[in-house]
Amino acid sequence: MKKTYACIALLISLLALGQDRAQKIDSLLTHLYRAGQINGNFLIAEKGQVLYQKSFGLANEEKGEPLNAEAVFEIASVSKQFTAMATMILCEKGKLGLDDGLSKFIPELSFYRGITIRNLLNHTSGLPDYMELFEKVFDPSKIATNKDVITIFAQHRPKLLFAPNTKHEYCNTGYALLATVIERVSGETFPDFLQKSIFEPLGMTHTLVYKRRLAPKRIDHYAFGYVYSETLKKYVLPDDQDGTKYVVMLDGVVGDGGVNATVQDLLKWDRALYAHTLLSKKSTDDMFRATTLTDSTSVGYGFGWQIEDHPEFGKIVYHGGGWPGYATFFARHLTDDKTIIILQNHDDITLPLQAIRSILYNKPEANGLSLTPKELQKFEGSYELQPGMVINIEQRNGQLYAKTAGQPTLELIAESATSFRLKEINALVEFAANAETTVSGFTFSQGAMKTVAKKIN
C-alpha cells in the first residue's frame, strides 16, 4: 500500500511539474504575442505526449480568420528533412546509392564532376545557390520549376564554389536537384512520391507539397504568410512587395522547400522517426550523423538535419526554415525525447527557442550581458558570410537579431561588449571593431568551423 501511495504521489508531482512548465511557456508566449513578437502555432511534447499547444494570431489578415490547431503552414527549409527521407527510402530499396554521381541521374549537369548524392544531402557539393542566379537571369514574370533549375545551370554553368566535400556551405540547389533525382528514379512526381511514401503511411492527413501560385487550390485552415510593409504600416502578402516578390518566381521549385504541414502532423513525423516506421535504424542513424569533410573536419549537419551534441541536453537534431511570410523551427531532443515545433506566418518576429528550452528543462534562462541600444547600434547592418549568403543584423527593443534568407530569425545574446551567442544553434559571433563606433565584420564559430563575414552595408 505504501508503494502505491508513493507511486501516486510521484505521478501527481510529475503532473504538477508539467503543468507548471506549460503555464510558464504560456506566460512567455502570451507576453510575446501581446508585444507583437510572435504569430503562429506552438507545440511542445515529451515522449510523444503534448505538454503545450496553442495558436497565436491570424491565419488570414484580410478576413480576420484566427489560427487554430489545424492550421497548415508552409514550413520552408524544414521541408529538406522530407526530401532527405525520400532519398534514403530509395537508397534502402537499392534504387540509388549515396555515393552515386549526380551525372548518373541528371546527365545535363555532367560537367560538374565529383558531386555525389551524399554531397547534395549534406551541403558539401560546392554548387552555388540557384536563388541568386535566378534573380539575375530568369524572367521574373514566369514561375520557375525544378526543370528550370537544371536548364539554367546547364546554360550558364556557374562555377563550383569549392571542390566537393572540402567545405560545407548551406545550398538550396542541392535539395532542388534531389527532388528531380527522386522523380527520375521513382517514376513519380516529387509531390506524389512524398504523399504515397511518407505522408499517407504516417497519417499526416494535412501535409502536402503545395505550390500556391503555380497550382492554387483550396486548403482548409491555410495560414497565409505575411511580411510587414513599412509603407502601409501593416502585414501584407509578399507577392507584390519589393524585396520579397521573388516568392512568385520561385514558387514552382520544390525539394529545398514546398512542404506544407500542421504542428500535429509534424509530431506524427517525429514519432515515426523514433519507431523507424519508414526507414531502418541504420539508415536513420546515417541521417543523423555529422558530416566528415575530406580533411577530417566534422560538420554539424547530416542529411536534412542540423546536429548538436549539447553538454547538458544531449543529442539534438533540428532544422529551421525562413521564407517571406514564414519562420519555422522543428527540434528533436533525441537523448531526452523532447520535441519543439514552431510554425509562424510572419517572418520578422521572434523564435523564442532558448527561452522555451530553458523552461522545458527547468533551467534558468541566461539573459547575457545588458548593452544599451546605443552600444548595439554599431553592430547593425548586412554581413556577407559567403558568396550569396548575407546575414542581416538588426536591433529591436534593445535586442540584436540575426536574419538570413531561408533561415529563421535568431536572437543574439551578449557575452561581452563584442561577442554574442546564438544559443539556438550553439554558435558564437565575435564582431571586429576597428574603432569605438565602427565594425568591419565578425567571426562566426560553430564547433570546429570558423568563418569570417565582412560588413557590406
Q: Any idea which residues carry the catalytic annotation?
A: 77
d(CA 129, CA 132): 6
Distance CA 330, CA 267 (A): 10
Q: Could you give the count of Cα atoms lying within 13 Å of 70 in the half-sphere of its Cβ?
A: 6
246, 142 Cβ separation under 8 angstroms: no
| 75: helix, strand or coil | coil
Dist CA 373 CA 310 (whole Å): 31
> In whole angstroms, what is the distance from residue 6 CA to residue 13 CA?
11
Confirm if 143 and 248 have CB atoms less than 8 A apart: yes
In which element (H, E) is residue 394 found? strand 389-396
Q: What separation in angstroms does the CA of 139 have from each of 70, 127, 136?
A: 36, 22, 9
Strands (E), 142-233: 208-209, 227-229
CA distance 297 to 291: 8
DSSP state of 72: B
Query: Which residues neighbour 320 within 8 Å (Cβ) at sequence distance 6 or greater?
Result: 77, 78, 327, 328, 329, 330, 351, 407, 408, 410, 424
Contact 347, 323 (CB under 8 A): yes
224 φ, ψ to 5°?
Answer: -70, 140
3-state helix, strand, coil in the chain (%, to 5): 35, 30, 40
C-alpha cell recorded at residue 273: 522517426
